Amino acid sequence: MTPVAIPVPERFTSAAYRSILADGEAGNHATVTDKVIRVIGEAGCRGYPYETCGLLIGTTTAAGDWKIDEARQVTNRNRSRAADRFDLDPAGYQAIDRELRGGGREILGVFHSHPDCPAKPSPTDLASAWEGFLYPIVSICDGKVAELRWWTLAAGGTQFQPVPIHPCA
């Protein structure tokens, strides 16, 4: 695979962006299927040059690790700044939540794409993030997947930490 060069807009190196990244990895890891990784990448490529978003579905272990076995794209309702913002359609969220109820699996995170930007969270991402949720960000450059990174809120909820990923079939 030829590595894709990821452009780094100036704002990504600003103090505001750097200050929302915590040192060290999250204490819990995520097990993720290949299919989930594929769905996140394909959604990001299809939607390029706009941001795409969706939900992660799975279970958590008693220790607090995530097991993600499904990813589903949900409409990005942001029309004015869809190139660098997303508003996940609440109706899409509610429909999936209702469907899952009682089945043992639940919504455990939100994925979104960063067109021509690094796979690092922004202050806007921080403002809408929930504790305990997983936030994979896929960087799409020139319409191709450049990088997929997984994040969660650190204790206190004011910064993101990278989440170690274990692949599974």
Chain contacts with Zn ion (rule: CB under 5 A): 122, 125
Least distance (Å) from Zn ion to the CB of residue 137? 6
What CA–CA distance (Å, rounded) separates 168 from 76? 28
Residue 75 amino acid letter: T
Least distance (Å) from Zn ion to the CB of residue 110? 10
Least distance (Å) from Zn ion to the CB of residue 39? 18
Q: Is 34 exposed, middle or buried (0-12, 13-18, 19+ CB in 10 A)?
A: exposed
Question: In terms of CB distance, is 2 or 80 closer to Zn ion?
Answer: 80
Going from the C-alpha of 137 to that of each of 51, 63, 95, 119, 120, the distances in angstroms are: 10, 24, 23, 5, 7
Question: In terms of CB distance, is 60 or 75 closer to Zn ion?
Answer: 75
- Which residues is 83 bridged to in the sheet? none
Least distance (Å) from Zn ion to the CB of residue 117? 8
Residue with the shortest CB distance to Zn ion: 125
- Residue for token pair 């799409």: 140
Question: In terms of CB distance, is 116 or 125 closer to Zn ion?
Answer: 125
What is the biggest distance separating any 2 CA atoms in the chain, rounded to whole angstroms? 46
Question: In terms of CB distance, is 122 or 161 closer to Zn ion?
Answer: 122
* Eight-state DSSP code of residue 83: T
Question: In terms of CB distance, is 81 or 166 closer to Zn ion?
Answer: 81
Least distance (Å) from Zn ion to the CB of residue 168? 26
